Amino acid sequence: MAAQYRAIADDLRKGISSGRYPPGTKLPRMQDIASTYEVSDITVRKALALLRQEGLVESRGRGGQVVREHPDRARLITRHRQIERDELGYFSGPEVQHWRALPWPDGEQATRIEQTDPPADVGSILGVAGLLTVRRRLIGDPAEPTHRQLADSWLPPWITEGVPALSGETGKGGMYDRVEEWAGRGLAWREEVSVRMPTPEEAAVLLMPDGTPLLRAVRVTYLPPEAGPDPLIVEVQDIRMSGSLWALSYPLDRAPSAAWPPPPASSDYYKAP
């Protein structure tokens, strides 16, 4: 038999998902829940804590437990993942063209440039170990406080040695302009998207309520090879944003196997190799 607090949490969760407790409404008082289920206040507290961990409710002190907006019931804001450019430089999709650098919680606005160890997956992508240069930025919509993201640009030693501006102020057009000027050719990008829970520091900077997942996009910036099979990776950018606010949009390419019109049924195309 499931623990009592889990059974209570299940019932309340069903009430939330069914709309009996819509977003913005209060759950019943703790004393009333305890009376209904004939359990102690401690058991009810554990049930409510579970719902908070799941991001379904938030505590408002004397205001009680209030049902939050949730991805299952609220439309997410779609972000198209594509590289675009305006007079200021490159940006990743039309929804963020107006975004600008935001002040850090301590009031500092400049890009933070550090020498430190990268996350394990970033170091693996770059194929290097030890300290790397990272350019840390907090970027967002000046009119919507929660619409923001963290962007850490991890740079391998060969690119910071070749382009010293990357270790300081990059000027108009930003980092990508300086790299393309140095290389004499255009950059290319690829991304991998994943979800995890935020660290306390990430949740605080991104203004994320408890129980909210983090959406993480790891963008690899590279120079396509002029000769040989391997591209030259010049940056790995670790982008984090609130998973309760954003959804990503991207096209699905039609592969040759899905060509229209389809080949005749007698074609070798349908035969097993």
Q: Which residue in this structure is represented by tokens 């040989």?
A: 228
Q: Is 107 exposed, middle or buried (0-12, 13-18, 19+ CB in 10 A)?
A: exposed
Where are the chain's structural domains? 4-67, 77-249
Of 270, 209, 199, nearest in space to 238 by CA: 199
pLDDT digits (tens, 9 = 90+) for 130-174: 899 999 999 999 999 999 999 999 999 999 999 999 999 999 889
Reading the block at residue 234, the tokens are 């010049």
For the entire predicted model, the pTM comes to 0.74
C-alpha span between 18 and 25 (Å, rounded): 13
SS3 41: helix
C-alpha span between 270 and 244 (Å, rounded): 43
Instruction: Please give the CATH superfamily to which domain 77-249 belongs.
Output: Chorismate lyase-like (3.40.1410.10)
pLDDT digits (tens, 9 = 90+) for 58-87: 888 888 899 887 645 445 577 788 888 888
Domain 4-67 in this protein, CATH class: mainly alpha
Looking at residue 166, what DSSP letter applies? G
Looking at residue 215, what DSSP letter applies? E
